[in-house]
Amino acid sequence: MSDILLDVRKLITAFDTDSGLLRAVDQVSFSVKKRQTVGIVGESGCGKSVTAMSIVRLLPQPSGKILEGEILFKGNDLTKVDSKDMRRIRGNEIGVIFQEPMTALNPSHRIGKQLSECFLLHKNMSKKEAWQASLEMLHLVRIPAPEIRMSDYPHQLSGGMRQRIVIAMALACRPDLIIADEPTTALDVTVQAQILDLIKHQQEELGMSMILITHDLGVIAETCDEVVVMYGGRIVERAPVKTIFENPRHAYTKGLLHSMPHLDTPRKSMLPVIPGMVASLNQFVHGCRFCQRMKREGSVLRERPLYKEISPNHWVEACPQCVEGI
Amino acid sequence: MRRRNLTTMQPLLSVNQLKIHFPVLGGVFKKRIGSVKAVDDVSFSIAPGETLGLVGESGCGKSTLGKAIVRLYEPNAGSIHFQGHDISHASQSSIRPLRRDMQMIFQDPSESLNARHSVRSILEEPFIIHGIGNKEERRIWVNQLLDRVGLPANSADKYSFEFSGGQRQRIGIARAIALKPKLIICDEPVSALDVSVQSQVLNLLLELQQEMGLSYLFIAHDLAVVKHISDRVAVMYLGKIVELADADAIYQKPRHAYTKALLSAIPEPKPSVKKTRILLEGDVPSPINPPAGSAFGHRINHPLYEQTIGQTFPLREIEPNHFVAADPCCLSTEDYAKVSQTV
Ligand SMILES: Nc1ncnc2c1ncn2[C@@H]1O[C@H](COP(=O)(O)OP(=O)(O)OP(=O)(O)O)[C@@H](O)[C@H]1O
Ligand SMILES: Nc1ncnc2c1ncn2[C@@H]1O[C@H](COP(=O)(O)OP(=O)(O)OP(=O)(O)O)[C@@H](O)[C@H]1O
Ligand SMILES: [Mg+2]
Ligand SMILES: [Mg+2]
């Protein structure tokens, strides 16, 4: 199975909080093949970003910890790599695009300096070469008047421009894997289309793989090969993109697809929503967490449903209440 | 029916020929070498109970416009009237009482939530600033707010960094609705949320509007969301409004070339459908060095661009209540002829 670039196996990540050690990611397994794009969707707070941050070991410190599991990247277990090697891998082999650009940018450094740093750190370039390379990256992500923008501070840029700077930083070193957490949410659809095109192009040219976290099901449909659906720190469904949209099996996936506003829904009408509220981390049951939300009772809340492959490449958390005919 | 009501009422907010320019500094001495015309001659109004959607290219000035309305920036020219008061140059202290009625939900929640404060103190702050309620009342209100935006009650004692991006956005929304304002500037309020929570928040905003007659300026990139919540929609391009009409009209019969491109770029949530897009080639224009003529015409390399150099393109009413910039590069020949006659 040498075409697998990243293999996440039974990952458990927790936060040490006042109410104890809480699992934000609870036994998550999925893999990413070479050149493949895997999308992650799910309720806000379900652990998508924490999964991503676990892979590159950028968990909030000191509270965030990987408790169990393996993260095999090119066969190497990243949970065992020391922090110096991890720093080299990050940026060089794995590029990261963060959800909130302001957290990835240093507010007191100019854009040009921050971008150049990637090249200085990872590519052994001279200052001048790094500057030139940075300028090219800004061109690539379609920042107008890039020469002038190089000397701007992050707060002087619009939300979408900041996001494109972060994208430029992630692409800069031509990594093998890009982890993109909501990379285009801050962009208008025309720029979004250009950026997705650009990422796709780079991906084909350099053979990159990508993990794409987004709420935009349209973006998922257009860019992903495979989709992972998370709920309450776990994967409830995972399948090729077409299967997820055309033959979803888990009740949560169905609910998600159903609540999307369409251009033809009547204006100002109430939109369908999934009833109830997701429990907080310290109140999650061990059993099926979607059943918990639906206020169902009994053994479904006690026994964790099996995560199983119901047809080739189609995995579900096989709760008898949430998956019909299982 | 509804529309007529909205337009004949005294507007809650009216913005006239507003300009917000930022200095561009350069050279070793950091002298002013030019300016970013982030908002350049923008006019519109919002009626009580109305939602105006605002869409446009990234960097076109939407957030700047929103921030100027809540007076985080002072206008370089033009005026802003809120509830009949001219607030264009009012001092921060004289705006404070009006602030209660005008709130903003920010695009990047980490911009507005203090990481060192608990959620309770973030949500209590508006009440404290305006001297409303005692400690016990505030405790109850905070719990109600959390419930309203779908966060568990025990969130109050956590810090904002302990939440996911979408959860943080809900804290921002709770804070904005705390004082039951009349107008909320919503800058990308739902783009950080998954579609199910997004629907909850949109339903919440719609309910609040029905209950309290709230108005919204709703900035977003998701055009399906904008259409759903808005009565009218304004499309911005490089600091200017280029089209403004009823939500249905904009989507069913867009007139401006940029609006058309925007609508064609909406990603389709069906993996088997491949849409034909109007792909925008060329560079996004810079507000630092805007093209001398039609900005969008320059972008798409329009054959008529040369003729537009030095011209401006005021909004004209092409159909009742449907306004579009009279720009020959951006309209069909027919539409351009039609708006040219209305002069
Ligand atoms: N530093 C932290 N301390 C404690 N809990 C945390 C911390 N960071 C995140 N969490 C919790 O971990 C869970 C997963 O968060 P995560 O950021 O992965 O969500 P997400 O799926 O990315 O959501 P969103 O779509 O809103 O970005 C959430 O319940 C969140 O409250
Ligand atoms: N504080 C500031 N100082 C200098 N320039 C600024 C400042 N804030 C914004 N700008 C500039 O003003 C222009 C408009 O920015 P604004 O943030 O309003 O765009 P936007 O339409 O909200 O974009 P996005 O959709 O990407 O959020 C941009 O060119 C930006 O760089
Ligand atoms: Mg996240
Ligand atoms: Mg903005």
- Residues whose beta carbon lies within 6 Å of some atom of ligand 2: A 155-161, 186, 188; B 22, 36, 38, 56, 58-64, 107, 287
Q: What is the pLDDT of residue A276?
A: 80
Quick one: which ligand is closest to A19's CA? 1
What's the token pair of residue B125? 């702050």
Atom of ligand 2 nearest to the CA of A160: 26
The helix, strand and coil proportions of chain B, stated in percent and rounded to the nearest 5, come to 40, 25, 40
CA atoms within 13 A on the CB side of A175: 31
For residue range B33-67, what is the model confidence (pLDDT) as tens digits? 788 899 999 999 999 999 999 999 888 999 999 99
Element (H, E) at A54: helix A48-55
Distances (CA, A) of A111 to A153, A172, B206: 6, 14, 39
For residue range A259-296, what is the model confidence (pLDDT) as tens digits? 888 888 889 999 998 888 788 888 899 999 999 999 99
Least confident of A132-136, B208-212, B316-320: B208-212
| Exposure b/e, B180-199, CB count within 10 A at least 16 = b | ebbbbbbbbbbbbbbbbbbb
Please determine, for residue B154, whether its predicted confidence score (pLDDT) is greater than 60: yes
Q: What is the pLDDT of residue B167?
A: 80
Please determine, for residue B1, whether its predicted confidence score (pLDDT) is greater than 70: no
User: Virtual CA dihedral for A14, A17, A21, A25, nearest 10 degrees?
Assistant: -20
- Is the shortest distance between the CB of B59 and ligand 1 below 6 Å? no
Beta bridge partners of A315: A238, A309
For residue range A183-242, what is the model confidence (pLDDT) as tens digits? 887 788 887 887 788 788 888 888 899 999 998 898 999 999 999 999 999 999 999 999
A232 to chain B, any CB pair closer than 8 A? The answer is no
Q: Which residues of B touch A143 (CB under 8 A)?
A: 284
Q: Can you tell me which residue has the tokens 């697998």?
A: A4
Strand B215-219 to B183-187 pairing: parallel
Distances (CA, A) of A315 to A229, A236, B223: 10, 8, 32
How far apart (Å, rounded) are the C-alpha atoms in residues B13 and B7? 12
How far apart (Å, rounded) are the C-alpha atoms in residues B191 and B189? 6
| Exposure b/e, B37-53, CB count within 10 A at least 16 = b | bbbbbbbbbbbbbbbbb
How far apart (Å, rounded) are the C-alpha atoms in residues A267 and A258? 17
Q: Which residues contact A10 (CB under 8 A, 6 or more apart)?
A: A27, A28, A29, A68, A69, A70
* Domain B13-101+179-342, classified CATH 3.40.50.300, yes or no: yes
Element (H, E) at B315: strand B315-319
Give, for ligand 1, the residue of B162, B168, B169, B188 to mutate: max count of ligand atoms closer than 8 Å to Cβ.
Answer: B162
DSSP string, B20-35: EEEEEEETTTTEEEEE
Which ipTM score applies to this complex?
0.81
Please determine, for residue B315, whether its predicted confidence score (pLDDT) is greater than 80: yes
- The Cβ of residue A67 has, within 10 Å, a number of other Cβ atoms equal to 13
What's the token pair of residue A95? 């590029």
User: Virtual CA dihedral for A52, A56, A58, A63, nearest 10 degrees?
Assistant: 80
Nearest CA in chain A to B285: A144
Contact A270 B284 (CB under 8 A): no
Å from B49 to nearest chain A CA?
12
Q: Where are the domains of chain B?
A: 13-101+179-342
- The SS3 call for residue B45 is strand
Q: What is the pLDDT of residue B324?
A: 97
Q: Residue A56: what residue type?
A: V
Q: Residue B80: what residue type?
A: I
Pick the more confident residue, A73 or A280: A73
Pick the more confident residue, A8 or B2: A8
Nearest CA in chain B to A182: B192
Q: What is the pLDDT of residue B284?
A: 67
What's the token pair of residue B247? 């939500």
DSSP string, A172-214: TT--SEEEEESTTTTS-HHHHHHHHHHHHHHHHHHT-EEEEE-
CA distance between the termini of chain B? 29
- H-state helical runs in A207-236: 217-223
Phi, psi of A311 (to 5 degrees): -150, 170
Question: B321, exposed or middle or buried, with CB in 10 Å at 0-12, 13-18, 19+?
Answer: middle
Positive or negative, the CA dihedral B158, B163, B169, B170 is negative
Indicate the DSSP class of residue A259.
T
Q: What is the pLDDT of residue B297?
A: 92
For residue range B232-289, what is the model confidence (pLDDT) as tens digits? 999 999 999 999 999 999 999 999 999 999 998 888 888 877 667 776 766 667 777 7
B122-125: long-range contacts at Cβ-Cβ below 8 A with a sequence spacing of 24 or more? B122/B160, B122/B171, B122/B175, B123/B156, B123/B171, B123/B174, B123/B175, B123/B178, B125/B175
For residue range A101-144, what is the model confidence (pLDDT) as tens digits? 777 788 899 999 999 988 888 778 899 999 999 999 998 888 88
How much of chain A, in percent, has pLDDT values that exceed 70? 99
How much of chain B, in percent, has pLDDT values that exceed 90? 58
